[in-house]
Amino acid sequence: MAYRSRRYHRLAAGYDKYHLYPPTEAVGMVKAAASARFDETIEAVLKLGIDPRRADQLVRGTVVLPHGTGKAVRVGVFAVGDLAAEAEAAGAEVVGGDDLIESIASGGDIPFDVAIASPDMMPKVGRLGRILGPRGLMPNPKAGTITRDVARTVNEFLAGKIEYRNDRYGNVAAPIGKASFEAELLHENLVALVTELQRVKPPASKGTYLQGLSISSTMGPGIKVDVAKI
């Protein structure tokens, strides 16, 4: 069992852990609980009615949060020639081809939080699968990170686009902002995330799809949200 601080238990004691709170009320409660000495991240966790063992029920993609996450994102691009120049002009943190691939393959730093690749680079980028894959950084067509429109994609991630994917339990966890955000902005980001997950519901998923939703700050307890009121 994970260790929980006295502060955590004190905060948790103020909430009914079985009650489903309206979204706006839950956001306000999470903000009030975020009293650490740093700007805590606010995260949403959704329990989906999918079988994560089946390929036709996996949920993965990207969504643009209207107000971003509050985190500075470093975007890396595997491209050469004109596409490399476009990526650099768009503000990518690092751009490269064989040189960048070789640096990472030989144990060098991974200087990005999001990786984009032009289609022609993927046969070479594929050798980094064992390094980038476990970190969730491998370019993927479902996430829109394999593309020739590198400039637009770089701009979208810098503007607040995030990747999401279900875990082995059928949960999707994603940041929706910082505790310093106005409550209205956090709520709008939450709505954007839930709306996107509803949009990509796998046809093979049966029964209740959005089975649960909770939000929490980095150091605070989870608060259950009435997803029907999103």
* pLDDT-above-90 percentage for the chain: 89
Considering the domain architecture, whether residues 43 and 154 belong to the same structural domain is answered as: no
Q: How far apart are CA 208 and CA 198, in angstroms?
A: 11
* pLDDT-above-70 percentage for the chain: 94
Name the strand (E) or helix (H) holding 61: strand 60-64
Considering the domain architecture, whether residues 155 and 191 belong to the same structural domain is answered as: no
Q: At residue 48, what is the residue type? A: L
Of 159, 185, 209, which closes a domain?
A: 159
Say if 5 falls within a structural domain. no
Considering the domain architecture, whether residues 133 and 190 belong to the same structural domain is answered as: no
How distant, in Å, are the alpha carbons of 17, 52, 100, 136, 173 from that of 165? Answer: 26, 10, 26, 9, 8
pLDDT, tens digit, for every residue of 150-199?
999 999 999 999 999 999 999 999 999 999 999 999 999 999 999 999 99
What total of structural domains would you count in the chain? 2
Q: Parallel, antiparallel, or unpaired for β 161-165 and 210-217?
A: unpaired
The burial class, CB within 10 Å (0-12 / 13-18 / 19+), for 31 is buried
CB 40 within 8 A of CB 179: yes
Say if 1 falls within a structural domain. no
Considering the domain architecture, whether residues 97 and 152 belong to the same structural domain is answered as: yes
pLDDT, tens digit, for every residue of 90-146?
999 999 999 999 999 999 999 999 999 999 999 999 999 999 999 999 999 988 999
Considering the domain architecture, whether residues 147 and 93 belong to the same structural domain is answered as: yes
What is the chain's Cα-based Rg?
19
SS3 214: strand
Longest CA pairwise span in the chain (Å) = 58
User: How high is the pLDDT of residue 128?
Assistant: 98
Say if 6 falls within a structural domain. no
Q: Which residues of 53-88 are buried (b: 16+ CB within 10 A; e: fewer)?
A: eeeebbbebbbebebbbbeebbbbbbbbeebbebbb
pLDDT, tens digit, for every residue of 17-33?
889 999 999 999 999 99
Of 159, 189, 211, which closes a domain?
A: 159
Considering the domain architecture, whether residues 87 and 193 belong to the same structural domain is answered as: no
Say if 109 falls within a structural domain. yes
Considering the domain architecture, whether residues 62 and 88 belong to the same structural domain is answered as: no
Say if 49 falls within a structural domain. yes
Q: Name, in order, each residue with C-beta under 8 angstroms of 189's C-beta and a sequence gap of 6 or more.
A: 65, 66, 67, 69, 176, 177, 181
Q: Which CATH number belongs to the domain containing residue 23 in this structure?
A: 3.30.190.20
Say if 64 falls within a structural domain. yes
Please give the distance of CA 124 from its chain centroid, rounded to a whole number.
Answer: 26
Considering the domain architecture, whether residues 215 and 168 belong to the same structural domain is answered as: yes
- Per the structure, the complete domain to which residue 174 belongs is given by 11-69+161-229
Of 137, 159, 181, which closes a domain?
A: 159
Say if 2 falls within a structural domain. no
Q: Which CATH number belongs to the domain containing residue 147 in this structure?
A: 3.40.50.790
